[in-house]
Amino acid sequence: MDIWTMGNRYLAQLSHTSFARAVHAHILTSGFKPFPLIINRLIDHYCKSFNIPYARYLFDKIPKPDIVAATTMLSAYSAAGNIKLAHQLFNATPMSIRDTVSYNAMITAFSHSHDGHAALQLFVQMKRLGFVPDPFTFSSVLGALSLIADEETHCQQLHCEVFKWGALSVPSVLNALMSCYVSCASSPLVNSCVLMAAARKLFDEAPPGRRDEPAWTTIIAGYVRNDDLVAARELLEGMTDHIAVAWNAMISGYVHRGFYEEAFDLLRRMHSLGIQLDEYTYTSVISAASNAGLFNIGRQVHAYVLRTVVQPSGHFVLSVNNALITLYTRCGKLVEARRVFDKMPVKDLVSWNAILSGCVNARRIEEANSIFREMPVRSLLTWTVMISGLAQNGFGEEGLKLFNQMKLEGLEPCDYAYAGAIASCSVLGSLDNGQQLHSQIIQLGHDSSLSVGNALITMYSRCGLVEAADTVFLTMPYVDSVSWNAMIAALAQHGHGVQAIQLYEKMLKEDILPDRITFLTILSACSHAGLVKEGRHYFDTMRVCYGITPEEDHYSRLIDLLCRAGMFSEAKNVTESMPFEPGAPIWEALLAGCWIHGNMELGIQAADRLLELMPQQDGTYISLSNMYAALGQWDEVARVRKLMRERGVKKEPGCSWIEVENMVHVFLVDDAVHPEVHAVYRYLEQLVHEMRKLGYVPDTKFVLHDMESEQKEYALSTHSEKLAVVYGIMKLPLGATIRVFKNLRICGDCHNAFKYISKVVDREIIVRDRKRFHHFRNGECSCSNYW
């Protein structure tokens, strides 16, 4: 036996890297020449054990270019996702030694890097240079063509060529061609029926022996992808032996289209027919359970999988784990989700994104933040989830910051990311930023996006421009119930109760079904506008006409409506008729109504209940002490304040802000921080002088401390909303609307004062507080003092 054969036999037995290294070392140190065959074996070995740099080192040692080695290397680079190095290597391969196999490998490499056009070009080039395509070539190039999938003619051209070369008799080519038709069929640019029919014809006309498992699967999955579940099911039922992959495709098709019962049904049949369930089956079924809200079924599957199919490593496959994370986050079991996530030996982007969006949806924004920071890789979705999560939880500044950071890192935000950024502007009331984003959105062509439109409606509304919100709503190409809800809410918050109701009626006429949010909104609208009769009517229709069971939030809005109208006995009746014990939202609504109507007795009762339920909520202590102060019961005021101190409850400081020239200026109560605050105080003094001439009297009822009346007046003059409004008058161009935002509810004296100010300086003043908007113009407020 010669040394070549011997070396080759040794190497054929190689299974261990260290042994390969030993052979390699021997070749290097002993004088024996690096025979190409042995070197190639070694390169192959190192590539397979993912030591590509080592393989390359050997490759570069070969004195004469070798096409087999080059192809091995090329494929290794491609498998590792490094198309650049693969292409470089291919280009460096001398034309004289290239062969069909090397072209095939390069075409596949392009295809795997999702560059269908490059693959197709190379195919054309190789034919021009006289290389003869083989079945491998066709399979590869058809795979690449599936990526382009924008024209019917491409498939047909290649179909002709395949036919010409007689390659249709090769199952892999037949399958690749069918798969190509199927992929092209899902493109919106083609007539998918024609292409599906072509794929089906290929399938039907192939002799049964040529229709192997991939063939069945391709055609069945093809129908699934192209939304013909009936055809897919028919074929599935017609199969003599049951191929798990095809069944899995069918199940996932049902799940995608929302036919969860059918999906579970198939699962049961698979099980009873003895078809091997695998990780794909479980992944689909678990995700069916989470989409359908059937959490118990999902957990049963989890338990079953735990009992039966533990992997050798003791863990599930990645995709099963990912589906489980989603299942548990959707049913609010974040601890369970976290347990699955933490135990995973390997996590991918999907796992991270799933747990991140789980935390965001559970409003655990700090946990989400640390997950976001920990993530090894982030996708567009990651950023989007985080940005909109921050905005939804009131962190507008952080949301915008993250959006900018995303762009700095060179990522192109998608429409969802823009929607998140706009939502951040809604929180901040930053109209300048919001408008800039809006113009970028138009430039980028994202303005037809539903989520962007919905975010814009809310942004314009929350920045005080309810007309602009309306324009967006009217010009959106498609709207959904979220858009309607947003627009109704916009009208409601700005005090246009009647218009809000009209819009709601219009929504019903257009056959859009109201949901639980719609009713929350419409009840608020009635409450803000004092429309008691209407509010009660809508509340009643909820269950009767739309089958929506009123929740505590709905009841609290109804009670709010009644109490604001002074109908306390009716409110009491509602409370007693509720199918559950009144919780904090109910007592809050009662308390607010009592304060407006001076119903101190009931108000104090409500506040006492609230103190029991939510002892850490500062607002209750303030309201309670306000009520005692109004009654002149200073001992009680002192008692409440002492209680607050003892329990370590801090009053959330009043804070208002205004945007001037793209900068947000923040004022705190009794502010001494803002650089221009002294000028603001001086100007306010002048204004008050003018206002008094028109009849303004400071209303010291709104000061809780027991102090002299002069001090009380001073205390009123330091309210943050006054400072912000005055700053706006000083800084904004003449005639410009003043838009001020406050974290708490507006104070009664400030409300009164702004009416006078709007008259004195002849300006429109818009104040957004925690609950709604106040438009002051010419001595009046849009809320008609009803808030």
**Residues 87-106 within binding reach of DNA (CB under 7 A):** 99-102, 104-105
Binding mask of the shown chain, residues 232 to 271, with x at each position contacting DNA by CB under 7 A: -----------xxxx-xx--xx-xx---------------
What's the CA gap between 459 and 781, in Å, rounded?
22
| Among 14, 62, 67, 668, contact with DNA (rule: CB under 7 A) | 67
| Residue 115 lies near DNA (rule: CB under 7 A) | no
| Residue 372 lies near DNA (rule: CB under 7 A) | no
The stretch among 63-71, 118-126, 158-166, 666-674 that binds DNA (CB under 7 A) is 63-71
The footprint of DNA on residues 569-588 (CB under 7 A) is none
The stretch among 168-176, 504-512, 622-630, 773-781 that binds DNA (CB under 7 A) is 168-176
Binding mask of the shown chain, residues 434 to 473, with x at each position contacting DNA by CB under 7 A: ----------------------------------------
**Sheet containing 738-742: which strands, arranged edge to edge?**
663-668, 655-660, 738-742, 765-768, 773-777, 780-781
What's the CA gap between 644 and 622, in Å, rounded?
9
411 class by beta-carbon count within 10 Å (0-12 exposed, 13-18 middle, 19+ buried): middle
| Among 11, 89, 111, 262, contact with DNA (rule: CB under 7 A) | 111
Angle at which helix 213-225 crosses helix 192-205, to 10 degrees, equals: 160
The stretch among 282-290, 364-372, 543-551, 691-699 that binds DNA (CB under 7 A) is 282-290
Q: 294 vs 491, which CB is nearer to DNA?
A: 294
| Residue 71 lies near DNA (rule: CB under 7 A) | yes
What's the CA gap between 471 and 407, in Å, rounded?
29
What's the CA gap between 527 and 786, in Å, rounded?
9
- Terminal-residue alpha carbon distance, the chain: 100
| Among 137, 426, 575, 623, contact with DNA (rule: CB under 7 A) | 137
What's the CA gap between 533 and 561, in Å, rounded?
10
Q: 177 vs 669, which CB is nearer to DNA?
A: 177
The stretch among 300-308, 318-326, 542-550, 601-609 that binds DNA (CB under 7 A) is 318-326
| Among 379, 393, 435, 743, contact with DNA (rule: CB under 7 A) | 379
| Among 20, 185, 402, 417, contact with DNA (rule: CB under 7 A) | 417
- Min dist CB 322 to DNA, Å, is 4
| Residue 424 lies near DNA (rule: CB under 7 A) | no
The footprint of DNA on residues 603-622 (CB under 7 A) is none
| Residue 294 lies near DNA (rule: CB under 7 A) | no
Residue found under tokens 């049913």:
331
What's the CA gap between 44 and 158, in Å, rounded?
33
The stretch among 140-148, 472-480, 533-541, 571-579 that binds DNA (CB under 7 A) is 140-148
- Min dist CB 108 to DNA, Å, is 4
| Residue 599 lies near DNA (rule: CB under 7 A) | no
Q: Per-residue DSSP letters for 710-753? A: HHHHHHHHT-HHHHHHHHHHHHSPTTPPEEEEESSPPPHHHHHH
What's the CA gap between 605 and 590, in Å, rounded?
10
- Min dist CB 102 to DNA, Å, is 4
409 class by beta-carbon count within 10 Å (0-12 exposed, 13-18 middle, 19+ buried): exposed
Residues 149 and 119 sit within 8 Å (Cβ to Cβ): no
Alpha-helical (H) ranges within 375-414 are 380-392, 396-408
| Among 65, 127, 187, 212, contact with DNA (rule: CB under 7 A) | 212
Q: 284 vs 524, which CB is nearer to DNA?
A: 284
- Min dist CB 196 to DNA, Å, is 14
* CA angle centred on 778, ends 654 and 687, rounded to 5°: 55
Residue found under tokens 């010669």:
2
The stretch among 174-182, 399-407, 572-580, 604-612 that binds DNA (CB under 7 A) is 174-182
What's the CA gap between 180 and 156, in Å, rounded?
10
Residues 569 and 598 sit within 8 Å (Cβ to Cβ): no
| Residue 728 lies near DNA (rule: CB under 7 A) | no
What's the CA gap between 470 and 479, in Å, rounded?
13
- Tell me the one-letter amino acid at 174: L
| Among 224, 455, 567, 750, contact with DNA (rule: CB under 7 A) | 224
Q: 344 vs 630, which CB is nearer to DNA?
A: 344
Residue 335, CA distances (Å) to 287, 318, 367 in order:
18, 19, 12
| Residue 38 lies near DNA (rule: CB under 7 A) | no
| Residue 113 lies near DNA (rule: CB under 7 A) | no
- Min dist CB 374 to DNA, Å, is 17
CB atoms within 10 A of CB 781: 22
Nearest Cα to Cα of residue 140 among 101, 185, 197 = 101
- Min dist CB 216 to DNA, Å, is 7
| Among 59, 131, 136, 628, contact with DNA (rule: CB under 7 A) | 136
Q: How many residues are there in the chain?
A: 787
The footprint of DNA on residues 395-414 (CB under 7 A) is 414
- Min dist CB 581 to DNA, Å, is 33
| Among 151, 161, 227, 278, contact with DNA (rule: CB under 7 A) | 278
What's the CA gap between 78 and 106, in Å, rounded?
8
Q: Per-residue DSSP letters for 275-305? A: PPP-HHHHHHHHHHHHHHT-HHHHHHHHHHH
- Min dist CB 388 to DNA, Å, is 7
Residues 76 and 108 sit within 8 Å (Cβ to Cβ): no
| Among 7, 52, 72, 77, contact with DNA (rule: CB under 7 A) | 72
What's the CA gap between 760 and 645, in Å, rounded?
41
| Residue 326 lies near DNA (rule: CB under 7 A) | yes
| Residue 223 lies near DNA (rule: CB under 7 A) | no
Helix, strand or coil, per DSSP, at residue 346: coil
Nearest Cα to Cα of residue 220 among 271, 178, 189, 260 = 178
| Residue 215 lies near DNA (rule: CB under 7 A) | yes
What's the CA gap between 448 and 194, in Å, rounded?
30
| Residue 353 lies near DNA (rule: CB under 7 A) | yes
| Residue 636 lies near DNA (rule: CB under 7 A) | no
| Residue 381 lies near DNA (rule: CB under 7 A) | yes
662 class by beta-carbon count within 10 Å (0-12 exposed, 13-18 middle, 19+ buried): exposed
What are 465's two structure tokens?
């421009």
- Min dist CB 702 to DNA, Å, is 42
The stretch among 137-145, 463-471, 630-638, 764-772 that binds DNA (CB under 7 A) is 137-145
| Among 170, 301, 386, 750, contact with DNA (rule: CB under 7 A) | 170
| Among 140, 369, 493, 626, contact with DNA (rule: CB under 7 A) | 140
- Min dist CB 450 to DNA, Å, is 12
The stretch among 133-141, 232-240, 587-595, 607-615 that binds DNA (CB under 7 A) is 133-141
| Among 280, 316, 628, 702, contact with DNA (rule: CB under 7 A) | 280
What's the CA gap between 322 and 344, in Å, rounded?
9
- Min dist CB 218 to DNA, Å, is 4
What's the CA gap between 362 and 537, in Å, rounded?
33
The footprint of DNA on residues 737-756 (CB under 7 A) is none
| Among 86, 263, 354, 525, contact with DNA (rule: CB under 7 A) | 354
| Among 192, 284, 430, 461, contact with DNA (rule: CB under 7 A) | 284
Residues 393, 399, 402, 406, Cα dihedral to 10°: 110
Residues 362 and 334 sit within 8 Å (Cβ to Cβ): yes
Q: Applying CB under 7 A, what is the total number of residues that bind DNA?
A: 79
| Among 24, 83, 110, 179, contact with DNA (rule: CB under 7 A) | 179
